[in-house]
Each structure stands twice: as structure tokens, then as C-alpha cells.
Amino acid sequence: NAGVIQTPRHKVTGKGQEATLWCEPISGHSAVFWYRQTIVQGLEFLTYFRNQAPIDDSGMPKERFSAQMPNQSHSTLKIQSTQPQDSAVYLCASSSWTGNTEVFFGKGTRLTVV
Amino acid sequence: AQSVTQPDARVTVSEGASLQLRCKYSSSVTPYLFWYVQYPRQGLQLLLKYYSGDPVVQGVNGFEAEFSKSNSSFHLRKASVHWSDSAVYFCAVSLITGNTRKLIFGLGTTLQVQP
């Protein structure tokens, strides 16, 4: 079990460019989460998939951010026209769906927008 | 709305000393509570969780936490810290409403263990 795998670990983009972050959840896990971590805001919930379907995107900025889960083995978070304030660590997590089972986190992708 | 407060941004203790990291939560129902630890350049790792029953729960590496409904608290403790415990510790509450589910985190407490 390699855990939740996130790629790349580090990404530097120029202002206005697009950034795509990848996540491979633990095999068999039906719930996938995306969080954003910054020093100021801490850990913020972005979005949640269950059985590949988007369930809750209440934390996603309404513009420029989108998330998809085209199959059960990976999810992507896409940020269009990146801005310096998008610089953060983006964490993906997965769990089985049986109420409050443990949520396993990846090591994150550090996005820097210059 | 559920929320979590960790009042101490940074705690420094000497190796071998006891430790308490504070966590206060706000919830309209009995919450599901968690403590996670984050080492540098790593993801979050679960230390322990509380769902119900005995208010004192044991976790990994000698950590334990005590749930108090009257105080709305879930403090983390360790009897004797090691330098390798230096990390950032997050308290979290699980929010399940309808079909959605998410963890609400505190801002974290950075623990520095001095030799």
C-alpha cells in the first residue's frame, strides 16, 4: 500500500498559467477529498468525491478552480489563470465510505505562482 | 457551525517532559474528533480518534487524548516527549451532513522539543 500519491510534489507556474495537480487515492477507497493548506488560512476543505461523483465543492473558489475524478484511480485539481494567492500546499486524501473511518492524506503538492 | 480552535500556535518543551496540546471544538452534536500530526514535507498522519465511549483514547507513539463534553475540549497529551515528536499537530472535527463529509481543522500547534 503506497498510500495516497500526489504528483508533482512541487510545481512552479507563472502568473496566468494553468496548473494541474494529480492524485491517486488508495485502492478501494471510494471517498476522495482535496484540501488547501496555507500558513494564514490553515487547512481548508475544497471538494469531495464519492464513488467518482462530485458531492460537495463548497470550498472551491467559484472561478478558475475545478476538480474531476474520471476514474476510481485518480483525481485532478485544475487551476486556470493561476494567481500568486493560489500559492499553497494542496493535499489530497482518501478514505473508505463507512461513516467516520480514517482519512489518509497524501504528501501534498506545493504550488508556487511567480 | 462546527469549528475547532487550537489556542497555542507554538509550544516548546524539553525532551522527556510531559506535553499537553489544547483543542476546543464547537459542535451542535456530539462530534467525531481527531488529532493529526504533520512532519516537515509530509502529509497528515492520524494520531488518534474519538467516536464515543471512554473519553480517554489512546493513539500511536504514546499519545492519548481526553474528550470533555462539558468543556468542549479534546486535549492531546503525552507523558514524555522525544525530539522526534517535533512537528505540527492538528485537531479536527468531522462534519457529516446529508451526503457530504469533511474534516474541519484547527490552525495547528507547532511543537518544538528541545534536547
Asked if residues B46 and B33 have their Cβ atoms less than 8 Å apart, the reply is no
Give the count of domains, chain A: 1
A21-47 pLDDT, tens per residue? 999 999 999 999 999 999 999 999 999
Q: Does A102 touch chain B (CB under 8 A)?
A: yes
Chain center to CA of B38: 11
pLDDT surpasses 80 at A99: no
Q: Which residues of chain B have pLDDT under 70?
A: none
Interface contact flag, A103 B32, Cβ < 8 Å? no
Question: What strands, in cross-sheet order, belong to the sheet with A19-24?
Answer: A5-7, A19-24, A74-79, A65-71
Across A99-112, average pLDDT: 88
Domain span at A22: 6-109
CATH of residue A24: 2.60.40.10
| The pLDDT value given to residue B27 | 83
CATH of residue B14: 2.60.40.10
| The pLDDT value given to residue A98 | 65
Which of A61, A55, A57, A48 minimizes the C-alpha distance to A93?
Answer: A48
Q: Does A45 touch chain B (CB under 8 A)?
A: yes
Domain span at B9: 3-114
Residue A28 lies in a domain: yes
Give the count of domains, chain B: 1
Mutate to test the interface with B, among A89, A103, A104, A107 (most CBs of B within 10 A): A103
What is the Cα–Cα distance from A22 to A75, expressed in whole angstroms? 6
Task: Name which of A42, A59, A106 is nearest B107 (Cβ-Cβ).
Answer: A42
Instruction: State the Cα angle at A25 between B35 and A85, rounded to 5°.
Output: 70
| The pLDDT value given to residue A31 | 93
A38-97 pLDDT, tens per residue? 999 999 999 999 999 999 999 999 899 999 999 999 999 999 999 999 999 999 999 987
Interface contact flag, B44 A4, Cβ < 8 Å? no
Chain center to CA of B57: 11
Which of B22, B34, B10 minimizes the C-alpha distance to A102?
Answer: B34
Residue A114 lies in a domain: no
What is the Cα–Cα distance from B43 to A83, expressed in whole angstroms? 24
What is the Cα–Cα distance from A95 to A33, expressed in whole angstroms? 9
What is the Cα–Cα distance from A85 to A81, expressed in whole angstroms? 11
pLDDT surpasses 80 at A101: no
| The pLDDT value given to residue B1 | 74
Residue A17 lies in a domain: yes
Nearest-Cα residue of chain A relative to residue B105: A43
